[in-house]
Chains A and B, each alone.
Chain A
Amino acid sequence: MLEAAVRSSMVKKLGKIVGSESVSTNQADLYIYSQDMTPAEPSWPDMVVLPKSAGEVQAIVRLANKERIPVTPQVAGENIGGLTIPLKGGILLDLKRMDRIIEVNETDMYAVVEPGVTFGHIKAYLEKHHPDLIYTYAFSPHSTSILANALVQGLDNLSFRYGAASGWVGGLEVILPTGELVKIGSCAVSKGWQALVPLPELAGLFLGWQGTTGIVTKMAVSLWPRPKHLVGLNFQSMDWDGTYELLWTLSRTRIPDDVIALSYPYVQMSKLAKAEHKKVSLYPAQTTKPGEPEMVITVEISGNTKNELNTKVEVVEETVKEQLKDFELIGPQISPSKTASYPEQALGILSSGGGLTWVGCYGPMSNWLETAKKGCALQDKYELSRSCYTRIMKEGHFVGLRWMLPFDKGDPEMVKRIRALCSEQLDMVLEMGYIPYKTPFWAIRTLEERAGPDWVKLHRRVKKMLDPNNILNPGRWGAPQE
């Protein structure tokens, strides 16, 4: 925490930049911004500042850099990694007021957005003004920032095709920790924001860095043609081997837009939370009864014409029938596409008492089966219902995997249980070659121990080069050795 005199002086100076109404040292605000839905320990900022423009962000960062005061950028804070809890206090930079959709280029299919643009906003905007284009959606509430989702390499409903969300970034405008404003990608040398290539990919200095190397004030994200015909296919797989075989088979067809597998107990819990607005809990565990599936797999397919859609569905059906003839599988059952319902209220994971966390990771398909099983076995050990969630990424080149852990923040025993489980799951996934995305700071240290020393040196050098005074979201990636 800052000395009172320093804080007071900063508040005055920040007030001159953004207006006094957009600076707060109110204890209620500091309390709220000190935590998120994960069981991460709270850490209070000294003040909260809400800029409206890149110019204001620049001025704030220059001031903070001069005074050596930490700055933690945030929009919704829904990253399930504690990433925007200000570990060293200082300024919590709430970017929600920067909420413009600056440009939508229909021909080149991209949108240039500010950090405060959410999944809900982009959906409404495109439906109204550019109905032939869509953006992708994360499995998160509509108030999530699309820019932040891309920065932390999230997984979305077009990830089967295009990989992690950082993969469809076409350009950035970044405020460096030393206050310079830099454009990255084609926008650096032209008016277009269509692609990062064919220039040196400097975006890699900011994507995946959790706001520790720069504050992104604009981002170009890819848009896609709105599919005319959509359908969902549901499968129920009775065992793990069948699930793996199905996921592999679906990936090889290259047909789906999205493939998700969920533990059956979790699916049932979600339905209850959504339909009846009830409080749900993973504890005590609801086990799978005989005759119930291990996993539920949902597949989204689209077509330009009904004919194309039907053909794709036929191919999937025939391929699955052939490849999985030795496995116990129910389906596919045809259902309406879920795409239209995105973004969701996500009640299934938000109805357990204020808490949500997971060890979410990306890793190879080749280790999926064993890793998923081990993760669920750990849930069994801690007497929690199985809640495995997996999403096929980039047509099977890698997968997203997590065990969703909604919990009651008001129950200290449950918090302990969840923390212990996460710790064991982290060790397990690392052993299996999976890497946590949106890596919480406590997992970064573990990862650094596994990474080669030169990798560690390189990423710290990058951080030091860009942020010599270590003001941006300190304590995370690139943190100097303590």
Chain B
Amino acid sequence: MGLDDVKEWLYGCTHCGTCKDVLGLFIPSCPAGERFNLESYFPSGKIFIARAVSEGRLSLDDDDIRDRIYACTGCLSCQQQCGAYHHEHIFEIVQALRTEAVTRGFLHPAYMLIYYGLRKDDNVFGKPKAERGDWAKDSAVKYAAQEKVDVLYHAGCMLSFDPELWEVPKSAIDIMKAAGVDVGIMGREETCCGGRAYEIGYTGEFTKYAQHCLETFNTLGVNKVVTSCSDGYSTFKTLYPKLDIEPKFEVLHIVEYLDQLIKGGRIKFTREVPLKVTYHDPCHLGRHVSPGVYEPPRDILKSIPGIELIEMERIRENAWCCGAGSGVKQAVPEFALWTANERLKEAKATGATALVTSCPWCERNFKDAVKEYGIEIEVYDIAEITRKAI
């Protein structure tokens, strides 16, 4: 999608500033704007950049201008706050700028790593493809490529290649097995969903992975594809429909599935988890999908014995971003950590001792921010917390 595809939205913005704060709360909503303060970093600023590039008044040759478009986490908070007629297309405009940059041959070094990682090893980290299923080595789990399963668990790139996060997919599998679910994984045959490629402007790569995943899932004959990765979830739900391939399976995030299993009586909690927690709504599980998945994780937490859930101020559709999305974790790491730390401060202010989320990119970035900034708070995925209670 290039600038020509978003032309009709380029003049909607009056630069009114509504996108800068959460309506009603009037506290910051845009991480890039809040961090850098210059108008070019706010959503309105990026629209103006797109307008100027399309008119030939600014050029994407300029590194500094491109820095502005890479500093967007794609959290869609701006789209939530802005009510003008273009409001659902703000991130599309940013993506169009990124695609335009790629088309003109301007490749961010961090994006090149993502791109070549995908080309060579089907993952965004450039890690060896053969290691993709290593997290499941000690789990007695079926391999969907070898035997038919009812539910396919898609781990995603982050959970597959970050050993510090392997408890997340392992916990997810353990819980599903305990609930009697016939679950399997693709292991080293799993590929990236292509979502990150789409967000950073490599639409060709996205299409390739989308086609591959859809055809694979359809061929496997699974009834459900369940994932712990919110990025992957929103890719399956909102980007894959762009292709003309009918999915023959249902897509669920692990929180949706666990919530169903708990309410259906298939999961029994036998242990207490005495923890004061607050919950972070991942952008890709909330604003990126419609309807946003806000209740299931909360219902899960409230049903776990011993858990006390305290909410932050910016939650649900107004949640502050973790900072990792849309290539920012790779392209602008300092900004990603700063954004995460702002969220950790908010979490700590509730009195909670742990922050729980349901996206590995969020979890990774929060954990990194804890190391960098030193806020004393534990960070968990919801599957890890749930597993403790079984």
Contacts and interface: CB of A to CB of B under 8 A. Distances in A.
Interface of A: 21-22, 24, 26-29, 31-33, 36-37, 48, 50, 76-78, 94, 96-97, 118, 120-121, 123-124, 141-144, 273-274, 277-279, 345-347, 350-351, 353-356, 408-410
A354 B11 CA distance: 5
Given A50-B38, A142-B23, A354-B15, 19 more contacts: A28-B64, A29-B39, A32-B48, A37-B14, A48-B38, A94-B39, A124-B25, A141-B18, A142-B21, A143-B17, A144-B17, A273-B85, A278-B85, A345-B18, A351-B84, A353-B12, A354-B11, A355-B14, A410-B11
Contacts of A351: 12, 83-85
A277 B18 CA distance: 14
Contact of B40 (A29, A143, A355): A29
A410 to B, nearest CB: 4
Nearest to A411: B11
Given A118-B26, A124-B26, A273-B85, A28 B12 contact: no
A94 B17 CA distance: 14
A141 B17 contact: yes
Contacts of B21: 118, 120, 142-143
Contact of B65 (A28, A33, A94, A410): A28
A96 B65 CA distance: 21
A28 B37 contact: no
24 contacts: A22-B37, A24-B38, A26-B38, A26-B40, A27-B64, A28-B45, A31-B48, A31-B49, A32-B15, A32-B40, A76-B17, A78-B15, A124-B25, A141-B16, A141-B17, A279-B85, A347-B84, A350-B16, A350-B18, A351-B85, A354-B12, A355-B14, A356-B14, A410-B11
Nearest to B68: A28
Interface string B1-18: 000000000111111111
Contacts of B84: 273, 277, 347, 350-351
Contact of A21 (B14, B36, B68): B36
B149 to A, nearest CB: 43
A134 B45 CA distance: 32
Given A28-B64, A143-B21, A120 B26 contact: yes
Contacts of B178: none
Interface in B10-57: 10-18, 20-21, 23, 25-27, 36-40, 44-45, 48-49, 52, 57
B58 interface: yes
Contact of A28 (B10, B26, B52): B52
Contacts of A32: 15, 39-40, 44-45, 48-49
B42 to A, nearest CB: 9
Nearest to A116: B37
A338 to B, nearest CB: 15
B62 interface: yes
Contact of A31 (B23, B26, B57): B57
Contacts of B15: 32, 36-37, 77-78, 354
Contact of B11 (A36, A96, A143, A408): A408
A136 B88 CA distance: 31
Interface in B156-201: none
Nearest to B52: A31
B12 A27 contact: no
Nearest to A37: B14
Contacts of B142: none
A2 to B, nearest CB: 19
A304 B87 CA distance: 40
A273 B85 CA distance: 8
Nearest to A52: B37
Interface in B53-87: 57-58, 62, 64-65, 68, 82-85, 87
Nearest to B35: A21
B36 A78 contact: no
A94 B15 CA distance: 15
A286 to B, nearest CB: 17
Contacts of A409: 11
B39 to A, nearest CB: 5
Nearest to A92: B39
A100 B375 CA distance: 25
A171 B82 CA distance: 34
B37 A96 contact: yes
B361 to A, nearest CB: 26
Contacts of B39: 29, 32-33, 48, 94
Contacts of B36: 21
B15 to A, nearest CB: 6
A97 B20 CA distance: 13
A33 B42 CA distance: 13
A78 B83 contact: no
Contact of B16 (A50, A94, A143, A408): A143
A346 B84 CA distance: 9
Contacts of A278: 85
A123 B13 CA distance: 25
Contacts of A37: 14-16
Contacts of B45: 28-29, 32
B52 to A, nearest CB: 5
A347 B45 CA distance: 19
A142 B26 CA distance: 8
